[in-house]
Amino acid sequence: MSPRVSAERREQYIEERHNQILDAAVEIFGNKGLDVATMDDIAQAVGISKGTIYLYFKSKDEIFDAILAERSYIPLLIDSMEYTKISTESADFSLQSFLEDMGNKFLGAMDKYYPLFHLVLADAHRYPVQAERVYNNFILKANRMCAEFLTAQSKAGRIRELESPLITARCFMGMLIVYYLSQGILGGNKFLPIDHKVWVKEAVRLFLEGVQVNG
91-142 residue pLDDT tens: 677 889 888 988 888 888 777 767 667 766 666 677 777 677 777 767 787 7
Report pTM: 0.70
Cβ(120)–Cβ(130) under 8 Å? yes
Tell me: do 47 and 98 sit in the same domain. no
Tell me: do 108 and 174 sit in the same domain. yes
Q: Which class for 175: exposed (0-12), middle (13-18), buried (19 or more C-beta within 10 A)?
A: middle
Q: What is the CATH number of the domain that holds 131?
A: 1.10.357.10
Domain count, the chain: 2
Tell me: do 56 and 77 sit in the same domain. no
Name the domain boundary from 44, 67, 90. Answer: 67
Tell me: do 15 and 83 sit in the same domain. no
Output the pLDDT for position 215. Answer: 47
Cβ(169)–Cβ(81) under 8 Å? no
Cβ(107)–Cβ(196) under 8 Å? yes
Grade residue 77 by pLDDT with cuts at 50, 70 and 90: low
**Count, residues in the chain:** 215
Q: What is the CATH number of the domain that holds 62?
A: 1.10.10.60
Output the pLDDT for position 52. Answer: 93
**Average pLDDT of the residues of the chain:** 82
Which is more confidently placed, 84 or 34? 34
pLDDT of 13 > 50? The answer is: yes
pLDDT in tens, 159-174: 999 999 999 999 998 9
19: containing domain: 3-67
Grade residue 149 by pLDDT with cuts at 50, 70 and 90: confident
